[in-house]
Amino acid sequence: MIIQSDAIYTEKGKYSGYMEIENGHFIRFFDKLPKQEAVLDYRGCLILPGFIDIHTHGYDGHHAQAVDKQELIALKKSMTKAGVTGFLPTAGAHFEQEYDNLKQLADCIEEQDFDHPIGAQMLGIHMEGPFLNPERRGAFQPYQLLPADIQKASAYLEASRHHIVYMALAPELDPDGKLIQYLKEQGVKTAGAHTTASYEEYERGIQQGLSASTHTGNGMCQIDRRNVGALGAALLNDDLYCEAICDFHHVDPRMLDIMFRVKKDGCRKFIMISDSTEVSGLPKGTYTSDGMQVTIQDNGLILDEEGTIMGSAHDVLYGFQNLKNKMKLPIEDILMMTSLNPASLLGIADHKGSILENKDADFIILNQKDELLATYVQGNCVYQKA
């Protein structure tokens, strides 16, 4: 397959010409066709690396903590509507069937057909919880959270057949760092989340092995002139990746601007996430989720019965559009946040996260209005706008 465009955003920069894909990989880029061949003409469109969403609890009516495998497969398909080619289904809330959910997710991961994908690829499992601080629980219910426990973490890993690759926890619940260290030894990246940690406690967690900050700016102590808190620790450590919800409601765009400027490497250490839920992508209205009544507001926020924000109705494509059209960030910088940085955090940037020779052909096509036209996973079209 050969695609022509005047705006192919490769890892090396913007390119105008032809892109050839074979056996699920990008194989070469060239300025002129060597011979008469069939070409998909997307001149005037953007060709971008597929988005990797490492923090999504569901989308379009499908829940990442479902115990029905067919619902999880449907989630894989739905994610492609948002330009997502790879994602971490996000579990973590403690509930009666949590082990069944992890086993079903493991089945979905192991049964994926990489030659003929039907949707976005599950790149592993993310557990946001249950080792979170009840004082910063957000939309989590108290019964969904547990004290830090290595044995419990081990049971989760066993149930998932070690497909858990990322776990969010409150570092102050693990003051000696034994849980963080255990997870690190098991190959699991950890992130600080839903935390009352001070600057010192959060920085200690980083030194003990935290790799990232969960939805930075949310569910953590804010910056004060006399105490910069967990947010200050996350921003001042240049080695720490910072997740960011870019719907402009969870974090004000001016605060995002400050955050991007504070980090030494700027956008190179931020990862755009959706933090979407099963009702994200649905029309505004009232729905039932996890046994609770939730409402999607006009602005895209999802609120529970208590008025607490429980995620965004928007997706990473919406975040991309916000950063490009409203904050006027360079497309290359945004793509680091949507694609290359999450791949780097997960240790898969050698074959995912950018358009480059020999990498997996995961890419999306946007028109001049930044609307999604098509999503490709390993060279296979898995979504096309009607």
**Token pair of 382 as six digits:** 């898995």
Bridging pattern class, strands 363-366 and 372-377: antiparallel
128 in a labelled binding site: yes
Give 252's contacts (C-beta < 8 A, 6+ positions apart).
none
Residue bearing tokens 């990442």: 64
Catalytic residue among 53, 60, 275, 315: 275
What angle, 0 to 180 degrees and rounded to 10, lies between the N-to-C axes of helices 178-185 and 150-159? 30
The response to whether 215 counts as a known ligand-binding position is yes
Catalytic residue at 68? Answer: no
Cα separation values, 329 from 11, 118, 246, 256, Å: 17, 32, 12, 11
- How far are the Cα atoms of 21, 130, 283, 286 from residue 64, in angstroms, in the given order? 31, 15, 19, 20
Do the annotations mark residue 250 as ligand-binding? yes
Q: How many residues does the chain have?
A: 386
DSSP calls for 110-128: HT--SSS--SPEE--EEEE
Instruction: List the structure tokens of 325.
Output: 């059209």
116 is in an annotated binding site: no
Measured CA to CA, the distance from residue 161 to residue 200 in angstroms comes to 35
Calpha distance 220→192 (Å, rounded): 9
44 is in an annotated binding site: no
Q: What is the DSSP string of 311-374?
A: EES--HHHHHHIIIIIS---HHHHHIIIIIHHHHHHT-TTTSSS--TTSB--EEEE-TT--EEE
Query: Is 28 labelled a binding residue?
Result: no
Give the Cα separation of 361 and 49 in Å (integer): 8
Q: Does the annotation place 220 within a ligand binding site?
A: no
Please tell me whether 309 is known to bind a ligand. yes
According to the annotation, is 348 in a ligand binding site?
no
CB 330 within 8 A of CB 337: no
Q: Is 268 annotated as a binding residue?
A: no
Residue 351 assigned ligand-binding role: no
Q: Which residues are catalytic?
A: 275
Annotated binding site: 128, 139, 194, 215, 218-219, 226, 250, 309-311
Annotated binding site for substrate: 139, 218-219, 226, 250, 309-311
Annotated binding site for Zn(2+): 128, 194, 215
